[in-house]
Amino acid sequence: MKSTALIYSSDFNKFSYGAEHPFKVQRFRLAYELMECYGLTKLPGAGIFNPPAASDEDILTFHSHGYLSKLKEFSASDQPRADFRYGLGDMENPVFKGLYDWACLAAGGTLEAARMVSEQGYDIAFNLAGGWHHAHRSRASGFSYLNDSVIAINRLIEKGKRVVYLDLDAHHGDGVQEAFYDTDRVLTISIHESGMHFFPGTGSERETGSGKGKGYSVNVPLKEHTDDALYMKAFDEVAFPLIAAYDPDIMITQLGADTFRTDPLTRLEITTHSYSYVLRKLKALRIPWVAVGGGGYDNVNVARAWTIAWALMNGQDLSPRLPARFVKTIREMGYPNRMLLDAMHWAQDDDRNRALDAVEKSIAAIRKKVFPIIIGVYG
């Protein structure tokens, strides 16, 4: 019996948001190629699986009929279309032929990962093309059209599962938080760059849920220039103890790589050091684990991050130097990278002190408002 599953399809790479758009689908192929170079696609305890597309029935567990109809209509059109009521057709969320099929394939990958973990006994399943955490019930947002994590979590809830959703992307997981803001069946935790002056403008530590969900939405907003040590502090003092106390049946983790200090769209300063640290601690919890991709706008950072994640999920140690074949590939694409692993990074003193003050205030607020609820009930 294989214990880990990687969800990947060459069809993930068949579409394009446009030459000038920061999101490049080629990152999926590049990540898979790096895994191949390290021998991670032929591990004895792991399997590689093509995903089925999500069905309309699956999608309608979250998204509205009107939005679904509009997505299908625009996806079938040979001409550019726009409907800003649904967030479709602007520079952020372009419309292209086949969009709906592509989004359904990505969402189907996360559904399949959740099924493999919850029904087939897999310890971990990782859908590279998942993590579209900004999609709302009736609106595309933040490059996201279908919210695969919400759709998968809804299926898990139907089966009586209690779920933790942990979002490590640089952007707040607003669509997922919104979907489960009033329920105690899902604990959502997002560690992200503060929305004070950053998309999507949400994710304050004051957003803690409503009704039965009070205390079940947790946000750790990070000030720009937060570095490795501060990121690990946020995880260790908030996310880890809450996940351990809640002790879910399933853990879903969004593994966006746009937190890296060389990402062109964000201002955090973490590296593979703290990224790896967090993943090791998550695996040590031994909770059935569904992982999804997420953001990342430097393609080599994404490839490095997700290769590290897949290696850690399978207990594999990798050379800190990128394989020569992969270096040749990315050199031809204009990337100068030579190393898989980064040294631990410390931000400049003034920047770091401001980031430290901010994270300590957030941690204190969460410990006061959320810990008594979650730790009190489950701890």
How far out from the chain centre does Cα 379 lie? 26
pLDDT computed for residue 272 by the predictor: 98
Instruction: Please tell me the predicted confidence (pLDDT) of residue 377.
Output: 86
- For the chain, percent of residues with pLDDT exceeding 70: 99
Query: Which residues are known catalytic residues?
Result: 134
pLDDT at residue 112 in the model: 98
Give the containing element (helix H, strand E) for 280: helix 272-284
The answer to pTM > 0.95 is: yes
**Which residue type, as a one-letter code, is found at position 5?**
A
Q: What is residue 133's predicted lDDT score, i.e. its pLDDT?
A: 98
**355 contacts 221 by C-beta, under 8 angstroms:** no
Contact 205, 365 (CB under 8 A): yes
- pLDDT band per the 50, 70, 90 thresholds, residue 376: confident
pLDDT band at residue 281 using 50, 70 and 90 as cut-offs: very high
Segments making up each domain of the chain, as ranges: 4-378
pLDDT of 86 over the 80 cut: yes
Phi and psi, residue 191, nearest 5°: -110, 115
Phi, psi of 260 (to 5 degrees): -65, 145
Q: Say what the pLDDT of residue 1 is.
A: 53
> What is the pLDDT, as a whole number, of residue 333?
94
Contacts of 360 (CB under 8 A, 6+ apart): none
Task: Say if residue 2's pLDDT is above 80.
Answer: no
Closest CA to 223 of 215, 238, 234: 234
Q: What does the alpha-carbon distance between residue 215 and residue 220 come to, in Å, rounded to a whole number?
A: 13
Residue 53: what pLDDT?
Answer: 97
Q: 176-235: per-residue pLDDT in tens? A: 999 999 999 999 999 999 999 999 999 999 999 999 999 999 999 999 999 999 999 999
Give 128-182 pLDDT, tens digit per residue.
999 999 999 999 999 999 999 999 999 999 999 999 999 999 999 999 999 999 9
Task: Give the architecture (CATH level 2) of 4-378.
Answer: 3-Layer(aba) Sandwich (3.40)
Give the tens place of pLDDT for each residue, 237-274. Answer: 999 999 999 999 999 999 999 999 999 999 999 999 99
- pLDDT higher than 80, residue 379: no
Percent of the residues in the chain that have a pLDDT greater than 90, as a whole number: 95
Average per-residue pLDDT for the chain: 96
- pLDDT at residue 265, as a whole number: 96
Judged against a pLDDT cut of 90, whether residue 79 lies above it is answered with no
pLDDT at 157: 98
What b/e string do you get for 60-88 counting C-beta neighbours within 10 Å, with b at 16 or more?
A: ebbbeeebbebbeebbeeeeebebeebbb
